[in-house]
Structure 1
Amino acid sequence: MDALHWLLDARLQIAGSPVLWREVIGNAFGLTSAILGMRRVVWAWPVGIAGNALLFTVFLGGAFATPQHVDLYGQAGRQVFFFAVSLYGWWCWSRTRRLGSDPDHAAVTPRWATGRERLTLLVAALVGTAVGYPVLAALGSWGPLPDAWILVGSLLATYGMARGWVEFWLIWIAVDAVGVPLLLRGGFYPSAAMYLIYGFFCVWGFASWWRTSSAVRQRAGRLPSTYSEAVA
């Protein structure tokens, strides 16, 4: 119980403002998950789920004891949706790893999404944000429009990662570009800083997956179809 009490209430001071340790720890889990994801390691998914559980409590400032007392329902809600999407990604990557269908023995083979898949992502982003905005506004979310995009974009990026689409890194960059100013205005400084780090990291991850997908295409003539291509 002492450990749980510490996790819920422990704080540190950053530039004179109180910040919860669980926000710092949750974002650290998120960054670790991103690093494992770039390396295409299955453990990216359970590590990310652990971070989502912590951050869920952070973004419901009105329900949990937080210094900000600001509710970002889109940010909190995406932690819940992440759980379901992450389970799907965990299953996909685990199956690919067991089948040994990746030539580099990784958990997924990066590839570019098809034209149809890209169109589906675009439509889902527009419709999801349009629907999410009034819902979050009615719930009283702070900054409902950017919060809606962060929610929808994050889910699409996570799904794209599960499928091994190179474009998922670009979606994350778009999410980070909106998330940093929103979180700064709300006083979620560790999360804002982590989003900024994510943005630079996503550029690196995008370049890494792009190189890998190019290498895979070059030897595609002598390799069997990947699992990602088989289920597309």
Structure 2
Amino acid sequence: MSWFDINNTLVTIPLGAGYAMSWIEAVATVFGLLCIWLASQEKTINYPFGLINVTLFAVIFFQIQLYGLLLLQLFFFCANVYGWYAWTHPSAAGKPLQVRWLSRRQLLVIVALALVGIGLLALYIDPVFATLATCSVDLLNLLGANLDMPQLQPDEFPLWDAMITVLSLIAQVLMTRKFVENWMLWVLVNIVSVGVYAAQGVYAMAIEYAILTFIAANGTREWIATAKANGSRSAFTQGASS
């Protein structure tokens, strides 16, 4: 079980004062990168990699007492399970799920939900994550974890954290339905994450998200080409031709 301990250091990265990367963090990161890369190639096998990634990060967040983020991993776990199913089963019309763009109406709804979600979460981010942490601890204690309730500090970047959280949830859902826009959201999420992690001095995570930015940008390019081949047009093109 020591392999799962975040204090079991694999390598110390010479960044800042030195960043001790544990075995579990290294493996979770590799599986996360592979998951995103395989998803950008429209490979269904990305989902097993994603399930391992979110499970290992849940273990990490449990150990460093970030229980709100731990609970979010449960959402990502369920989204990966659903995405795996959706990508491998035909729709009600009997057709396989294809890469495509959102319609104009769908895009407007998504933009509205994103703006409202980001605004509300930025305003109430501390009580929201405190509630998530409380729910996580209560759930784990029901399973016999015997944890003390954590004392959470105020969020240092409420707007940026809210943007990362809300857009990540939306992007994950859009990916399960093979909408091109998911990659554009991931590019934005990753760019903001690089800035936040760099500002917090977590340089290894900043580098990881910089790599993810390039993978998401490549995913955007490839899925745009695939959507075009599938006969799907972006909302802007739909508007221009109507």
TM surpasses 0.5:
yes
- TM (normalized to structure 1)? 0.77
- Structure 1 residue 41, shift from structure 2 partner: 2.0
Gaps of 5+ in 2: 131-152, 233-242
- Structure 1 residue 92, shift from structure 2 partner: 0.7
Quick one: distance in 1 between partners of 2:123 and 2:64? 20
1:206 aligns with 2:203: no
Quick one: distance in 2 between partners of 1:60 and 1:150? 20
| Equivalent residues in 2 for 1:84-99, closer than 5 Å | 84-96=78-90
Identify the residue that residue 223 of structure 1 maps to in structure 2.
none
CA contact (8 A) 2:167 2:189 kept: yes
| Equivalent residues in 2 for 1:14-53, closer than 5 Å | 14-15=13-14, 16-53=18-55
Matching residue within 204, 209, 215 for 1:190: 204
* Amino acid of the structure 2 residue aligned with 1:14: I
Distance 1:78 1:144, change over 3 A: farther
How many residues end up aligned between the 2 structures? 201
Q: State the identity %.
A: 29
- Structure 1 residue 76, shift from structure 2 partner: 4.1
- TM (normalized to structure 2)? 0.74
- Structure 1 residue 61, shift from structure 2 partner: 6.3
Quick one: distance in 1 between partners of 2:220 and 2:194? 19
* Amino acid of the structure 1 residue aligned with 2:109: T
Quick one: distance in 2 between partners of 1:147 and 1:23? 21
Identify the residue that residue 162 of structure 1 maps to in structure 2.
176
- Structure 1 residue 174, shift from structure 2 partner: 0.8
Quick one: distance in 2 between partners of 1:136 and 1:49? 26
SS of 1:217 mapped into structure 2: coil
CA offsets 1:135-161 (integer angstroms, 9 cap, x no match): 432333453322221111111111111
* Amino acid of the structure 1 residue aligned with 2:48: P
Quick one: distance in 1 between partners of 2:208 and 2:89? 31
* Amino acid of the structure 2 residue aligned with 1:156: I
Gaps of 5+ in 1: 64-70, 103-107, 219-232
Quick one: distance in 1 between partners of 2:46 and 2:189? 19
SS of 2:21 mapped into structure 1: strand
| Equivalent residues in 2 for 1:44-83, closer than 5 Å | 44-59=46-61, 62-63=64-65, 71=66, 73=68, 75-83=69-77
- Structure 1 residue 60, shift from structure 2 partner: 5.5
CA contact (8 A) 2:3 2:24 kept: no
CA contact (8 A) 2:193 2:209 kept: yes
RMSD between aligned alpha carbons?
A: 2.4
Structure 1 runs of 4+ with >6 Å offset: none
Quick one: distance in 1 between partners of 2:94 and 2:205? 36
CA contact (8 A) 1:110 1:166 kept: yes
Identify the residue that residue 143 of structure 2 maps to in structure 1.
none
CA contact (8 A) 1:78 1:154 kept: no
